[in-house]
């Protein structure tokens, strides 16, 4: 069992399952979380008892005094739950509007997409898009969250959010886009159907400004041009941490560490690659102090390049892809006597092979 961030979740490659921080997790808190308690949100999403069978989502007509906001997902068939919050809402909890799923319209035969949409809408209340009315000149927040399972893997991304100020008579699209191993939430002005104008949200950071461990940045010269990279991590109790990485204000990764954080994206400065490795401290199960180096299995030491300090204790090591291959099997015989605890994340960003950001985030 790897202890990490006050949160237990299953990884398909993890024989032990769980991840949490050093802080002890109360069992009843875990039970409440796994039972799907949604006391921290409102829920206006359609349900069978109240709305009956629906073959399509409710439509909103834009008028001269309001704006229309459409919420969609693209790039994956994983269902995406959208929630909103208006500036004038007396209840400040996010209001869940329902779930959408990419039916493949425009990518597969029309009748296949239509069949997908009808089946999802009628049985699962997963619509191709959701529509709501928004007040003009008032901040409007949209949050997207994706979670799903397939035969071989699980997927989780978000919640990520954006806040923008709609204008009267306009139509906006907020789209959760699956990109590589992560997802992005982007807003567009689509009042003119043939146009797709990006809308800059006033809170694209989704609260990273006050997050823990927070944001770090670095500026480097690439092809004689300054490049500023910002790397943000937001640790959330009982959930995977959220990540947002940008290069010169262009988002290159937005997602969670439900799976290993790794990304590839091309921006105007070039091909951006990056990711994070867990920094693990092997602790003695009885003392919660670094274990004696001599007590670690030889294959774990070799595969994870573990070293000893001057007093013979094992030093923290990077659980990179090479370490991953031996970590769980090597830990099995000593699990309990030795407890692996994540103490930090070591993150790096490169452009065309040049390192533009490298830093450690301590939990």
Residue 93 has a pLDDT of 87
Assess contact for 162 and 201: CB atoms under 8 A.
yes
The per-residue pLDDT for 67 is 95
Residue 149 sits at φ, ψ, to 5 deg, of: -130, 145
In the block, tokens 């809170």 appear at 203
pLDDT at 292 (0 to 100): 96
Residue 284 neighbours by CB under 8 Å, 6+ apart: 290, 291, 292, 295, 337, 338, 339
Q: According to the model, what pLDDT value does residue 19 have?
A: 37
Give backbone dihedrals phi and psi of 6, rounded to 5 degrees, phi first: 55, 30
Domain residue extents for the chain: 40-204, 207-363
Q: What is the pLDDT of residue 104?
A: 53
**Count of other CB atoms within 10 angstroms of residue 244:** 23
pLDDT of amino acid 355: 97
Where do we find the tokens 């997050």?
211
Q: Are strands 270-284 and 262-267 parallel, antiparallel or unpaired?
A: antiparallel
Q: What is the pTM of this model?
A: 0.50
Per-residue pLDDT of the chain (363 residues; tens, 9 = 90+): 455 443 333 333 443 343 333 333 333 333 334 444 445 678 877 665 555 554 456 787 878 899 999 999 988 888 899 999 998 888 888 899 999 988 654 443 343 334 444 444 444 456 889 999 999 998 898 988 887 654 344 556 767 888 889 999 999 999 988 876 667 888 999 999 888 888 876 444 455 655 678 888 899 999 999 999 989 998 876 678 889 899 988 889 988 888 889 999 999 999 999 999 999 999 998 998 999 999 999 999 999 999 999 999 999 999 999 999 999 999 999 999 999 998 999 999 999 989 999 999 987
User: Do 156 and 256 touch, CB atoms closer than 8 A?
Assistant: yes
In this prediction, residue 302 carries a pLDDT of: 97
Give the phi and the psi of residue 194 in degrees, each rounded to 5.
Answer: -80, -5
Residue 73 β-bridge partners: 176
Q: Which among 226, 225, 221, 261 has a CA at the least distance from the CA of 245?
A: 261
Taking the C-alpha atoms of residue 173 and residue 252, their distance in angstroms, rounded to an integer, is 20
């Amino acid at each position: 069992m790897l202890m990490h961030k006050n949160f237990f979740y299953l990884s398909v490659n993890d024989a032990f399952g769980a991840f949490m921080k050093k802080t002890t997790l109360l069992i009843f808190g875990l039970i409440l979380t796994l039972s799907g308690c949604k006391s921290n949100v409102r829920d206006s999403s359609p349900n069978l008892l109240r709305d009956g069978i629906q073959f399509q989502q409710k439509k909103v007509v834009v008028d001269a005094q309001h704006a229309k906001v459409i919420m969609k997902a693209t790039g994956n068939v994983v269902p995406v739950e959208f929630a909103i919050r208006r500036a004038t809402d007396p209840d400040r909890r996010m209001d869940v509007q329902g779930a959408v799923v990419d039916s493949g319209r425009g990518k597969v035969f029309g009748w296949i997409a239509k069949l997908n949409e009808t089946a999802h809408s009628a049985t699962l209340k997963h619509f191709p898009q959701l529509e709501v009315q928004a007040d003009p000149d008032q901040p409007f927040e949209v949050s997207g969250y994706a979670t799903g399972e397939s035969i071989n893997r699980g997927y989780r991304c978000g919640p990520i959010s954006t806040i923008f100020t709609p204008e009267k008579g306009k139509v906006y699209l907020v789209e959760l886009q699956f990109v590589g191993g992560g997802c992005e939430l982007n807003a567009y002005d689509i009042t003119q159907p043939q146009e797709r104008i990006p809308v800059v949200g006033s809170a694209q950071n989704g609260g990273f400004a006050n997050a823990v461990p927070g944001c770090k940045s670095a500026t480097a010269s690439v092809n004689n041009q300054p490049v500023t990279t910002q790397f943000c991590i937001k640790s959330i109790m009982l959930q995977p941490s959220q990540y947002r990485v940008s290069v010169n204000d262009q988002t290159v990764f937005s997602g969670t560490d439900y799976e290993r954080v790794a990304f590839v994206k091309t921006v105007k400065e070039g091909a951006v690659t990056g990711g994070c490795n867990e920094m693990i401290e092997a602790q003695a199960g009885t003392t919660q102090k670094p274990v004696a180096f001599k007590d670690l299995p030889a294959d774990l030491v070799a595969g994870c390049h573990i070293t000893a300090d001057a007093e013979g204790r094992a030093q923290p090591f990077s659980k990179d892809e090479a370490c991953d291959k031996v970590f769980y099997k090597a830990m099995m015989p000593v699990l309990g006597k030795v407890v692996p605890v994540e103490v930090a994340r070591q993150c790096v960003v490169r452009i065309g092979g040049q390192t533009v950001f490298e830093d450690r985030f301590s939990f």
